[in-house]
Amino acid sequence: MSLVPPVLVVEGLVRRYGDRVIVNRVAFTIAAGEMVSLMGASGCGKTTLLHMLGTLDRPDEGRILVEGRDVARLSAAERTLLRRERLGFVFQQSNLLPELSTRENVALPAWRNTGHRQQSLARADALLKRFGLDRRADAQGHVLSLGEAQRVAVARAIINEPRLVLADEPTGSLDSDAAHAVLDALSEICLTGAALLVVTHDPSVAARCTRRLTMRDGQIQLDPDQPRIAAVI
Amino acid sequence: MMIAAVAVGIGFEVPAVANLRGYHAELLAQALDSGSGDVRVHPWRGSFIRDADALALRLGQIPGVAEASPVLGAPASISGHGHAVSLGILGINPSATYQPYRLTAGHPLGDRDRDGILLGYSIAQALEVAVGDQVELRVMLSTYPRLLLDDGGYGVYTMIIRGLVGFSASNSAFVTRSFLAAELGDDDAASMLIVHARDHEAASAIAAIATRIAPGVESRGWMEDSSYLHSSVQAVDTLGAVSWLLGILAVGIPVMALLYVNTLNRRRQIGLLSAMGFSRGDLFLTFLLQALILGAAGVLVGTLIALGLVRYLIAHPIFDWQGFVVRPVLALSDVARTAAAILASTIAAGSYPAWRAARVDPSRILRGIE
């Protein structure tokens, strides 16, 4: 039994769209510092699950505990605050706001969180430097390469030092070099003690994770090749 | 696009309102200041007011009265270059501040001008005469009860055209009252008194006071005496209000459409902002602020366009005929009211798209369902 307290606990999660069950009694935990992949065929419910974990969508049944707090018991304002302070998101593409520069894109969540623009921009600059993007700080989002844009999105996802980062196919539209750079950036998240759940189709991405979850028909499958797997139905 | 829509709206609205205000002002100026005055004082019986100068002095002392002038009218005919025209000739006091005409060519009459005449444009055209030409004036003096003339009641005079007058006085002719009164044999006679008020709206009240202090005459304000003019002024005001309202709608509806399309195009960004922890209130205010900033920029640009257009229209009036000139009258209150209304309509138009933005389901948007 791990002594590290779980950042995320999922119990009996169910999500239906009409008569169709998209996520069916899913349960697992993710501890702080863990890098967990979630694999599965298209349409198996990965993104729906990810959005429920990120409080963008609500489950029909089950519980989601983020750092011990049941998100179903939170008000809309508290869920917004949870997303802002404790969660980070990286999506597959179109992650950046085109009117803003790279540093402004990264600084935006911190600016909203603290109200201090200059401090947020300084923190954004530090993150961009860490990810080797400092020379692109003033570039608009739309002139960046896909790989650069995804690393900017990773920097933005962690600027408020979240406890859990949810990444939805972050390397899905990247070549292998760019994908490696993004994975390197994502890996750094876990070094800070945050947990990472990354939805992917790419086995090489899953291979870099400490644990792998596989979804099929809305359910988490036990994988005999993955002895470290902790997911249970 | 939205800045342009707002700018075009205010750029059109302000000159349109200024033109209508100018038309309103010119209508009153022509009909009252350069016409029959705000209060018209007629004799109860007969055609003439005796002791007209003394009565004019008394009426001039009524609060709000700028001037009271006696005028003397008589039936007449004018001939020149083989043509003749019948008309009513008016004798005026050349030194009065207000005259019942607007001089558009030539010079005004002198105080003791006995052979000068001012002709209306239409009369001058009919007679084919111009400033400086001679005309023959025949005045029917027998209308005045004290005169018994041997020549059939006509006085015949050779007059020199000093100037031309336009629009409302286009079918009239003017000589000095002193000349006409002397020919009638009564220096103090007048057909009517024209009373000019400092405020056109005060005409009815002044007429009521005039009736009290001068019971031997009938005093009527322009609103009662010229129902056509009154209706015209009211119609212009109504048209102005409707045009103004339509202008506001013409801005508000496309602005709302543009903001709504903008919201639709930004749904993914809205989803991203939601994921980043922006609340519905944040999103609503962000989109509303965007509408406000774009609206304010549009109002600023539009106001500059409007001011430029008004300056152009002052130099190049949209209507200029026989001295009736419609020049825009720019009132700061109109600019402020229009700018405020358009800005308010922009904010109102932006509220619905902003509300829609705040209601976007981030999960559906980010999954590409919507």
The pLDDT score that the predictor gives to residue A145 is 86
Min Cα separation A87/chain B (Å): 8
Cβ burial B117-127 (10 Å sphere, 16+ → b, else e): bbbbbbbbebb
Q: Within a domain: residue A171?
A: yes
Task: Output the pLDDT for position B356.
Answer: 81
Please name the residue of chain B whose CA is at the shortest distance from the CA of residue A89.
B275
Which residues of B have a CB under 8 Å from any CB of A? Answer: 268-269, 271-280, 282, 362-363, 366-367
Each residue's pLDDT tens digit, B241-282:
888 888 888 888 888 888 888 888 888 888 888 888 888 888
Establish if A232 belongs to a structural domain. no
Closest Cα in chain A, distance from residue B275 (Å): 7
Alpha-carbon distance of A140 to A81, in angstroms, equals 28
Domain residues for the domain of A32 are: 6-221
What's the CA gap between A227 and A2, in Å, rounded? 15
Distance of CA B226 to the CA centre of its chain: 15
Closest to B48 measured CA to CA, from B27, B72, B24: B72
Q: Is residue A128 part of a domain?
A: yes
Do B268 and A77 lie within an 8 Å CB cutoff?
A: no
Compare CB distances from B272 to A47, A84, A95 and report the shortest one's residue.
A95
Of the candidates B32, B19, B118, B29, the residue with the CA atom closest to the CA atom of residue B78: B118
The answer to the question of residue A226 being in a domain is: no
CATH of the domain at A170: 3.40.50.300
The predicted structure's pLDDT at residue B267: 82
Contact assignment for B367 to A51 by CB distance below 8 Å: yes
Rounded mean pLDDT of chain B?
86
| Distance in Å, alpha carbon of A115 to nearest chain B alpha carbon | 13
A80: which chain B residues are within 8 Å (Cβ-Cβ)? 277-279
Number of domains in chain A: 1
CA distances for B309 relative to B11, B56, B162, angstroms: 8, 44, 37
Does residue B124 surpass a pLDDT of 60?
yes
Count of beta carbons in the 10 Å neighbourhood of residue A57: 21
Q: Which of A171, A174, A191 is nearest to A39 (CA)?
A: A171
Rounded Cα distance between A31 and A193, Å, is: 9
| Average pLDDT, 10 consecutive residues per value, chain A (233 residues) | 75 91 92 91 88 91 92 90 90 81 93 91 92 88 85 89 90 80 82 88 88 90 54 37
pLDDT digits (tens, 9 = 90+) for B278-328: 888 888 888 888 888 888 898 899 899 989 998 898 888 888 877 777 888
Q: Do B277 and A85 touch (CB under 8 A)?
A: yes
Q: Token match 């043509």: residue?
A: B83
Strands B324-326 and B319-321: antiparallel
**A135 found inside a domain:** yes
